[in-house]
Structure 1
Amino acid sequence: MPRGERPLGPEDTALLRFAGDLRRLRDQAGKPSYRELARRANYSPTALSDAAGGRKLPSLALTLAFVRACEADPAPWTKRWRELAVEHAQPSQPNAPYPGNAPFTEHDAKHFFGRESLVDEIVESVRATPVTVVVGASGSGRTSLLRAGLQPVLDDAVVVTPGHDPVRDLAEALAGVFEGTTADQLAEEFRGDPDHLRLRIRQHRPGLVLLVDDAEKALDADDFLTAVTRCPHVVLSVRADHHARWRAAGVDATEITVEPMSADQLRRAISEPAAKIGATVETAVIARLVADAANRHALPLVQQVLVETWRRKRGMTLSLAGFEETGGIEHVVAQGAEAFYAELGEADRRAVRQFLLRLVSLPRNGIVQRRTRRTDVDAHLLDLVVKARLVTLTEDGAELSHDAALRWPRLAAWIDEERDTLRTHQQLVTAIELWEASDRDPLALYRGVRLRRAKELGDFLTVQERRFVDISAKRETRRSTALIAVVAVLIALVPGTVVYALSNERKITELHDRELGGKALSQSESLLEQRRPYADKYALVGYEVSPSAEAEKILRLSSAVTRGIPFTGTPADDADVVVAPRGEMAAVTDQDGTDRMWGLDEDRAEPGKRFADRHRVVKLAERRAITKDNNGQEHLWAVNDANDITYLTALPARFRTLDLSADGSRLVGKVGDAVDVGLPTPDESEHAELYDLSDPRMPRKLPMPVRAPETVALSQDGRELATGSWDKAAGTTTVEFWSIGGTVEPAAPPLSQHVYVRGITYSGDGRWLALEHSSPESVVEVWQRVPSESPVLRARLDTALRAGARVTFSDDGRVAVVRDNVFEVQQLYTNDRPADRLAYVVGHGASTRAVYRPQNRDFLVRSGGQDPELLPYDLDTGRIIKRMCEKDGARLTDSEWVKSFGEVERVQVC
């Protein structure tokens, strides 16, 4: 007979009430035995019994397992557990290596990591110029940079933080520097003549460096600013939203911007402080925080999460379980926001609600996003919101500090309540941008229903927005007055006007369609050239009004450019983009020359892990990658997804990869000194090698049927190898096909070509084979593979280029070719019918092959521009239109339509 539960007694503590409610939850579920609960929850009966025992707080994972086993909603229990965990977490220990919400101080210098290069840059500036200004967004860590980064490495430095009386604050900071003086004496002296500070430093402390934190608070104090900027060495920290005010001061200075931490810098800031005291941070914790905060001004949030995780550490390890118990950045943001909101008065609460809602965008797809806005909120309230880590201030304005802020329950509820207002406001903001872009064209102003709705926004409007609405209202009044006069004149001319209109109706309609379509397509092409938005919307108007092959081409191209997938944090000119065979991942070069993996969704990319320092990806397959280091050595990696890459082994010395099968099972390459850069002639010892990667840590060499072919290719499943051997005397290339198993055997009769074959490419299903050769221009021939028989030529694609074609096949008989900046697609046929050209576009390419994405039925093509970007190219016009209409991204706004087409009746595109 199972042992009964221990009575809880009076539930007079939060922990006992929590345990009591768990027991009542079990009762409501029919009071299953703990053995039955264990079967459902995958925890032991003892663990589940202890969870409801009331002696200690169970882990979050155990609590949720208990709740799910009782078939209850885990969400409210998660919230309740985290509230209770705050009371029961270990107190912050003296040796905690993270400062939490407070900035680092000089005493924390040993734990300050990730900003070393920035510190070095500022130190060099201090040596070279008298005044250095460090500009950074709120939350970028400027105070920590000065106190824990600069102050410890400078021989003689003092930090000054101005407040309401900057000169007095300066005097108090220097009272201990100059012997025999008091703060009162120094303050009086600096007010009398600000130049006295420079003279004192030159006479008594010539190497002293003044580090002025929060200098924006003293930009209006001329005596303070004059005193510090005349010193031999001064570093001023200015918050980014005051950058324009600083420049207006007219002080000659070197400016240095505090950028968000990169993934590597953030990784060091997380792991190194713990390592310094013998603790470790689990890799999963680092990965989660890097994914949440890299390249964002979110350092204070990261530090708060780390402190909370530290309080829940297991031994000296910051574990994933402890991290998840904190709730991560999302919980930190919500907890801080709620505490901040609770201390506000009713008037401030209304103001904060209005302010935060202005920082939210609700596009047509209905997905709530953050947006940056110029602020017109009370300065004191703005500072409170910033200190609560709800808002970040940049040079462009204010923005919510993190996407997690959108999930703060209170703000999420406000957004749901104000969705209609937010949509109307979003349309207004877009209309203002178009009005400004059109040099304030009166036709771009609001009128009618849109004007009336904008007026209803009331206090939600900023000063600039209210001005636009007022100007629109005045023009509407003048227009109405003029219209009354015109109508009076027309009344007398009605008969003649009607006859004229009826006789010309058909002619006007035909002319309207042709001209409107042409104008829409021209507008789309213009926007495409400038890489500006709305090109696809205008292209759709042109295609619907006047369909043609040219209109279809522009619609396809504009859709691809609009859906372009960018990669942030990469150099503009030297960013390799290597895409996985099915288009689900890509390797892209970071600023320091190291490749990073990115996960690719339909129209966006998410950063993942980086390879070892200075490793660049040579080949990328499913679950495998080949990288090359700075010394030319190649390495094999496991790549399960963008955030899961593992080093496997180094490849043989002097090995150069030629091809890696798409499934990652076979590898072929060459070994020899000829692969080294700078050798004038090939090495006689150069030879090809073939490897089986079934055990990737121990690649197994397979027999290579041809010693040194000029070109090779592996089928997608690695079971067939094609080799091309050049006979210079005969002027022919012999392409041979080999079946790879336990042995390597001929798979089909060889193919002889009286040209030099530069490249061979298999289709995914093995039905097609592309050969690229020069004669002397680059030619791509596509052959149909017939099992055990000679291939049959089905298409020939010529070009004016000498070489460099990259070939890709879709899974429905299409072949895509990229040459320099040209991208074309041909439909293949298994009979004598010539291939049909489906697309020919200039402006793509940049020397990378297209990749077909079967899950999206489109091609990913590297943009021909400087910035690393992939364009999703869909050849199905119907699918393009359907996607645009489903996402509500097809319809031009009223202001866009009026700006481009005046009073012409709107065309319905969906």
Structure 2
Amino acid sequence: MSAVAAPPSPYKGLAPFDDSELDALLFFGREREIEVIVANLMASRLTVLFGASGVGKTSLLQAGVAHRLRREQNAVVVVFSAWTGDAVANLLDAVEVAAGGDAGALRRGGPLADVLAAWTRRLDTELYIVLDQFEEYFLYHENEHGPGTLAEELPEALRRAGLRVNFLIGIREDALASLDAFKARIPNLFGNSLRVDRLERSAARAAILGPLDRYNELVPAGEGVEAQPELVEAVLDEVAAGRVDLGLSGRGGVGEEDSDRIEAPYLQLVLERLWEVETSRGSNRLRLETLRELGGAAHIVEDHLERAMAALSPDEKDAAAAMYNHLVTPSGMKIAHRAGDLAGYASIGEAETQHVLQRLVEERIVRAAENGAEGPRYEIFHDVLAEAVLAWRTEHEAERKLEAEREAAGRRHRRLLALAIGALVLIAILGAIAVYALVQRGDARSQAHRARGRELAARALTSAPVDPEQAVRDAVEATRYERSPAVANVLRATLLGMRVKAVLPAGGKPVGDVDFSPDGKLLVVAGGDGLARIYRASDGKHLRDLRHGSALSASVFSPDGTKIATAGDDSAARLWDAKSGALLHVLRHGGPVTSASFSRDGRLLATTSDDKTARIWDVSSGRQLQRLEHPGGVWSASFSGDGELLVTTLVPAAFDRTARVWDVASGRLVERLQRPDRMTVARFAPTGPLVVTAGLGHVAQVWNARSGRQVHPLIGHSSGIEDAEFSASDRQIVTASTDESARVWDTATGGLVGVLTGAQNFVLRATFSPDGQWVATTSRDRVARIYEPNGTLRVTLVGHRDSVTHVAFSADGTSIATASADGTARLWDPRVQPDLVPLGTQRGNEVAAVAFSQDGRRVVSAGTNGTVRVWRVGVPGHAVATLRPRSRVTAVAISGDGRRSATAGPDGSVQVRDVSSGRSVSVIHDVGAVRALALSLRGRQLAVIGKDGRAHLWDVDGQQSLRTVGDKVHAVSFSADGGRLVTAGSDAIARIWDVKSGKPVTPPLAGHHDLLTSASFSHDGRYVVTTSRDHDARVWDARTGRRIWTLAGSFAQINSAAFSSDDRWVVTAGPAATGIWDMETGRRLLAVNGRDHPLTAVALSPQGWRIAAGGFGGTVKTYDCRLCGNIDDLVSVARQRLAHLRH
């Protein structure tokens, strides 16, 4: 030890520990991991070591594993991570250096396996090759293949029998799935895999005090340094996993906050800073007071990059920002470049690039990764800085953009101010110029104001995918500065993206569970603070608390919704009355209760506990019926659908490989379902005897619990499986894995239905919607996602600040609840598109037409049988008036204002009636056979489409025929003023006619490819919208006949369309949804689901933006499009929704 000089500091900061005598002396806290890894590397041809980014793999491998292996006799150790260039050649160079040049005389020709075999024979040695930072191999050699490449040579070396070379692959956990590229060529690729976790608290304490002791041994007596015990504990508290986050969104980063796990790089960075400050003051003690003075650990970590960047000049910052864009991938992975390449990418001079890189090296933001013949490559200093660098660059560019806009506005202001001063000097003769200057100065201020609004709007769009709530706040703020349609559209877009309905506080500690009542009206949230909180599911209103008294692991409603079971760390489960909150029974265990689940009929409750038992209770009496003994703590229990069997699993720490199946009536163990690896989950299908099990291995199994026979394996994951469950129909199974995916399987065959990708960290839970149409997943990346079972990602639920750990659908599938380690639950709208809300039903016939009253309070619908009904908006169920036909009808219509209806009979007559009174307004005889009818807005003009395919026009009040227009007419509509008529033809052409003259007023509106189903004017008469069997709607200029927009995106026939009262929106109906389209852009704002039957008619209210639609099923439905309003309406909606999120 005396041969080693004392270092300037015993702490490394963000620098990795090297394979050196000094660093090995200072490396503490990983002693157990070193021995395990060394044993595996020496015993196995391939070891895969993985862990989260920044967990300290490189330090562990260099100062720990490599240094430990060098003690072995007759062993050569290589730690290799130079992945740019020729990987095989670089690896052989590294082996040659490690062998001390003894291999230099040997040839290198031929495959890697041959070269290594020759070298190990010549040297008579064991060779241990550590391939560190292997994720970077895929970054630089993504599509590599063929002879001479590592993609071919490494599998061959591993397959070579008798080769005295063992390999270890060190790789980031979020890149583990990339190793699938080798799976076909490396047998049992993951058979010997080890995970490096974050430091345990005791190990982290050793990492603080151990280096300090070593340092004190190396310095002269009296120069030692000590650390206050209270400082040690405070630092450990403040760098616990999840407490510090440098990134943009938590992408692939820290999981749930865990005071027993410590972030090693942040620990070293904080200690290094404390050492710098204390020793610069001449102090020989690391003190808590200094930590507080520096703002605590989080501030020290955050300040590292900020202090470094603040030391740069503005031009140097711009250069750094330009280079950062090429040193970090969008997913947060480091990438190395030479200075010349960075200069070219960033469009700056090479000399300037070298200067800035040197400054960044000095500040330990970047480092020289290699020093080859072409010069060093530079990369970000440490993985944990990668996302921080991206965040800094984004903020810097936004500030520079704002600064540029302000400077431009300032220049305009100064220029105009000078003009104003000159005008004052010559005020007598240049008064007009002074006025002009003042106006221009106001314009400059207005432009600066608008620039601020545009900046906020741009920031809102940028942040919407990662922070929807902040995006809405930014968009609302933007409306204070800029009230343009563009800003309004940004606010609409952010509101559409913010799917959270309510944030539900749960005591600030990780939430243990969420569950909806069977009717979907209530939600219970299991808090880590000992309270189960009951919320109203419609709006998140807090109703009552169930005071369990200790951290909760579960809270679940009984199947009939009358009771709630809670399970907690106080060695008890409790049964509560769901309505009153009264405590019914306390169900005692001898240790923390880990789960609670009801049988399907609600008569029984199963609880599991660390006391090595599962217990079955009678719900009505609280009496224990069975006590099921296990060899370790029990983690979960699941009843079979008939309640006769129960399957249990042990806690993960037990490393048990068995799921146990019990007979509920007798308590007898009937089957053991064995896995080759640790069991993590076992669940029964809702009906029948099937059980799905999963564990640390990559394969889930489906079993017949009664026979104990494995039905089939579910093969496809590349890492451990955290969750598995059946759909309600039993037809599908979903599994969630640490390989950052979920998968859906066919229960009957075991075949893969879909792979659910997109998560940036472990997928923790997965569950089906009640109807099986959707799958929800949760992840450590703080995001919940909604997929179709085939793997199509439909909705991303962003907003939690830590891992999302649980998820539940409401019974009707219209709400989702999530639980998180951030101490909250959230209510979300998971629907890809909202639903039309039923108002009433035209029983026995399809809806042929709908219209609103002028005040927008009533909807008038007409069925194909001629029955007209009036419905009150917002009061579903019963018509307030019904107008029945006096004879059989062949066609029906309603006026645009809903006041008149027209019906055609088989006798060739048309009767027009007043809807409110039912009295006959007019009867027009001898019109012939009628195919369709249309009334004008006020019902004073009538168009009759006869069997001849022509439109016959009538004056209703005068009962006079006006004229006949067109041919091949399928549908017809009047303009609001009654002066024009548009016909929709079976020849796919629409035509606009002058009612008075009967002549066409524009060229034919041609462009559709099939029969037209409708045509309608805008309220101001400037536009026409047509719909067709060709699946499209089109908007036309009613004066020129020019096509304005094609509204495409439907998968079948569109039957009807209408304009909003302000002509800002077009709404289409059919086949099964209404589409709401923006007239300014031609883009669809959203689709509103009609669900049951094709839609045939649509109308919009004259007051507001309510939609009414009807179709084949006879049901009239409505939807209030609150996002269709003006900018003030949108701000009001945004503020209301944001108010629900305060907690």
TM value normalised by structure 1: 0.36
The structure in which a higher percent of residues are strand is 2
> Structure 2 length as normaliser, TM-score?
0.30
The higher-RCO structure (CA 8 Å, 6+ apart) is 1
Structure showing greater radius of gyration is 2
- Larger proportion of helix: 1
